[in-house]
Amino acid sequence: MTATILSPDGLEDALRRIGAERYHDRHPFHHALHEGRLDRDQVRAWALNRYYYQSRIPAKDSTLLARLPTVALRREWRSRIEDHDGADDGSADGTGGIARWLKLCDGLGLARDYVVSGRGILPATRFAVDAYVRFVGEKPLLEAIASSLTEMFAPAIIGQRMEGMLRHYPFVSEDTLAYFRPRLRQAPRDVAFALGFVRDHARTAEQQEAVQDALRFKCDVLWAQLDALHHAYVAPGHVPPGAFRPGADGSLAVTPHAPGPGAVEPVGSA
Ligand SMILES: O=C(O)c1cc(C(=O)O)c2c(n1)C(=O)C(=O)c1cc(C(=O)O)[nH]c1-2
């Protein structure tokens, strides 16, 4: 039996179906986050672990950039690194997504040194994120580019997350969620290029199957991180040795804005 070759539109439809089935917006941890069912320490655990993902995205994109064969392709891809590392504007932090994610962690009362050190992250976070960086370095370029296409589905989940977190958590503000707003513009721009590339270059049935597998792999990278968070911090609550426990290991900043573990904030006091 010969494998069917899809049209570019047929391939895009197949990729969108993978997102509809497997993207992390379907994960129970995300529903709990958006619906206000997590406490402040569970939200801290999410932000702390997700910092590791954010911090490795520019490494992933630098690896990919180094593999691109033309000036035009490199010029296109390098904006992703700037989005996350930001410009050097003379401030200590710069202006990029990593600095904005640290602001979110500050707003939740996590100590910066602790967040940046990566000491408290879950083993599965490290394994999943490192696997993504490795995948992009080792797989054929077409698959490496296709693995970024989970971003097709990101703006919808970011909208839900911002709306839900602002509504439900008194300790979250527009300012602490500043990471997300620029992503609503950046992600569609990234996708326009990566999806166009995949539509143009995945011509054979084997290539088309490989780009779909790359997207499935990336959905697994995102899903595994939420599984680990759920297992450690929701149910059954098995926190791995060395991972974040509220208040332990200098994880919480001692500032007037960051009550210690167990502190109950009156609603609306943030
Ligand atoms: O908030 C999210 O759910 C979400 C998802 C994804 C994604 O789908 O990979 C990314 C991001 N955010 C994000 O902020 C981001 O910078 C990003 C880069 C990439 C990538 O694969 O290059 N994905 C994502």
Interval 165-188: pLDDT, tens: 999 999 999 999 999 999 999 999
CA-closest residue to ligand 1 atom 3: 154
Number of Cβ atoms within 10 Å of the Cβ of 133: 18
- Give the residue-averaged pLDDT of 12-22: 98
Per-residue pLDDT, 1: 58
pLDDT of 117 above 80: yes
pLDDT of 92 above 60: yes
Question: Residue 231 has which token pair?
Answer: 């297992």
Domains, the chain, ordered by start: 8-250 (1.20.910.10)
Pocket test for ligand 1, best of 78, 151, 157 (most atoms within 8 A of CB): 151
Ligand 1 atom nearest the C-alpha of 30 is 3
pLDDT tens digits along 228-255: 999 999 999 999 999 999 988 789 986 5
pLDDT tens digits along 133-149: 999 999 999 999 999 99
Per-residue pLDDT, 251: 92
Which tops the pLDDT comparison, 88 or 62? 62
| Confidence tier at 257 by pLDDT (50, 70, 90) | very low
3: left (phi over 0), alpha (psi -120 to 50) or beta: beta
Q: How far is the CA of 2 from the centre of ligand 1 (A)?
A: 35
Q: How far is the CA of 20 from the centre of ligand 1 (A)?
A: 16
Q: Is 22 in the pocket of ligand 1 (CB under 6 A)?
A: no
User: 225-228 — which CB contacts under 8 Å span 24+ positions?
Assistant: 225/24, 225/49, 225/50, 225/53, 225/122, 225/124, 225/125, 225/128, 225/129, 226/24, 226/27, 226/29, 226/30, 227/27, 227/29, 227/124, 228/49, 228/122, 228/123, 228/124, 228/125, 228/128
Ligand 1 atom nearest the C-alpha of 179 is 14
